[in-house]
Structure 1
Amino acid sequence: MTKKIILTAVAGVVLLSGCNTVNQSLANRQEVVEIYHIFDFKTQADVATVSRAAANGLAQNTNSVQSSTPLQLGITVPAEPGKFTLVDMAGAMGGGMGAMMQLAAAQNGGVGVKVAKCDGAVWTSKAVRNISGSSNLTLYSCLYRYQSGYNLDMYAVFSKTRGGLTGVLQSGSDALIGTPEAWVNKTIIDTVRTIESAAGTRAVHVEGQPELGPLPAVDKLSRG
């Protein structure tokens, strides 16, 4: 009788453990990550060459790219590059709209809506990649010219949805073509590579977080 009770208890624990695993797989989850990286390019290539390369690099892995080339009238090329800053849109807008954005941020895990401010940049862009039911990427780029070359500041807000039956299928897809995080890394790296090729130089990673992780396997195939 005692053995039966023990076996029943063990079976119950195993069943509950299995249920917990299933629940973890099926529970809907959304993760939001902020990313920034700054790269330095020592080159005397003109602004048009570098900015066009940056736009072409971004276009390889995004759905849309909006860019702007501000006039530089009467501006002397500085000795040191500028640097982007972040603007919290909820705080900047204030009032009822700002309060609504703060409420939405609280419901979204506490991550507010931020945009990169590129004061002094010779070229700016906003690139977007949306994969329905999987992930969203908004990537801001600020190109700063200085006497020895350019700095490219990149700031991204990346969100991914996991869980549910769709999430289970997405996990299988990730195993074949790469995770959303790996594609964010590829988007950044491909932009850097395109500038390197156009400007005939090699980039130096100045700073950033989190660390750039692995690229999808297809990256090696596409590069031979």
Structure 2
Amino acid sequence: MKRTRTRLLIAGVAPVLALTACGGVNQYLADRSETTELYHIFDIKTGADIDTVATAAADGLAQNTNRIQQNRPLMMSTDIPAKPGRFQLVDASSAFAGTGMGAFLQAAQSQAGATTMRLAKCDGAVWTSKATRAIPGYNNLNLYSCLYAYRGGYQLDVYGVFQKSSGGLTGLEQGLAGSLVGTPDQWVNKTILDTVRNIAAVSHGQVVQIEGQPKIAGDSLPWVDKLGTH
């Protein structure tokens, strides 16, 4: 009788253990999608002209991106403001409201689970850019830059957004690739730092980060960055 009860107990526990194991495996294999946003603001103390600083910024971006769209608005006033401007975030579908693009973006947001797609608005900037980087297995990185001139130099505002996937067999492959060459997050940080490094080198200026999220630390850069800075 005791043996029968023991067998029944073992038989009942086995499926529970199997389900628990499956749940643990499923945790890692389930497909996940996450939208990541970041921004950083840098103060640039230099006497270099706008063309020099803007070209240095574009060349810095080009080191780690696939495509750059630049815009240099006409500066009708010769007065340089005492304080720099600041970028603003706007909802992409609202920015194109009443147009076919607005309807397309609204549909895209719906398919993405109502994730808000935002753009950087650079009113008053002397130079703006949108850079994209194709990341295998991930949605493209979109990096917006706004360069503001003021009496003390310049201010560079950078806003980035990309969507990354994890989980599933593809996620395992991405994890392996990330451990070898660096994660997308790390390469985004490197793209930003290489840009301000190039500005500092070309303009002979002093660049200081005054604000930003998330914090850029040494461990948030790909290991190849250490090779390039020596």
Q: TM-score, normalised by structure 2?
A: 0.88
Asked whether the equivalents of residues 90 and 119 of structure 2 are also in contact (C-alpha less than 8 Å), the reply is yes
In 2 relative to 1, CA 219–84 (structure 1 residues): closer, same or farther, beyond 3 Å?
A: same
1:83 aligns to what?
Answer: 86
CA deviation string 1:126-166 (max 9, x = no partner)? 10011232342000101001000000011111111223222
CA deviation after TM superposition for structure 1 residue 117, in Å: 1.5
Q: Tell me the distance in 2 between the aligned counterparts of 1:51 and 1:177.
A: 29
Q: Which amino acid aligns with 1:143?
A: L
In 2 relative to 1, CA 92–64 (structure 1 residues): closer, same or farther, beyond 3 Å?
A: closer
1:101 aligns to what?
Answer: 105
Asked which structure has the greater CA Rg, the reply is 2
Give the counterpart of 1:26 among 23, 26, 29: 29
Identity of aligned residues (%): 52
Give secondary structure in 1 for the equivalent of 2:190. Answer: helix
CA deviation after TM superposition for structure 1 residue 5, in Å: 4.2
Q: Tell me the distance in 2 between the aligned counterparts of 1:10 and 1:60.
A: 57
Structure 1: runs of 5+ lacking an equivalent: none
1:64 aligns to 2:64 (yes or no): no
Q: Tell me the distance in 2 between the aligned counterparts of 1:88 and 1:134.
A: 22
Task: Please identify, of 14-23 and 54-63, the stretch whose mean Cα deviation from structure 2 is larger.
Answer: 14-23
1:138 aligns to what?
Answer: 142
Q: Tell me the distance in 2 between the aligned counterparts of 1:111 and 1:25.
A: 23
1:207 aligns to what?
Answer: 211
Q: Which amino acid aligns with 1:33?
A: T
1:223 aligns to what?
Answer: 229
Give secondary structure in 1 for the equivalent of 2:226. Answer: helix
Q: Tell me the distance in 1 between the aligned counterparts of 2:207 and 2:32.
A: 36
CA deviation string 1:28-75 (max 9, x = no partner)? 221112211110011111111111111111111111111122221333
Across the two proteins, how many residue pairs are aligned to each other? Answer: 224
Asked whether the equivalents of residues 135 and 184 of structure 2 are also in contact (C-alpha less than 8 Å), the reply is no
Give the counterpart of 2:152 among 134, 148, 158: 148
Task: Please identify, of 53-62 and 205-214, the stretch whose mean Cα deviation from structure 2 is larger.
Answer: 205-214
Q: Which amino acid aligns with 1:207?
A: E
Give secondary structure in 2 for the equivalent of 1:131. Answer: coil
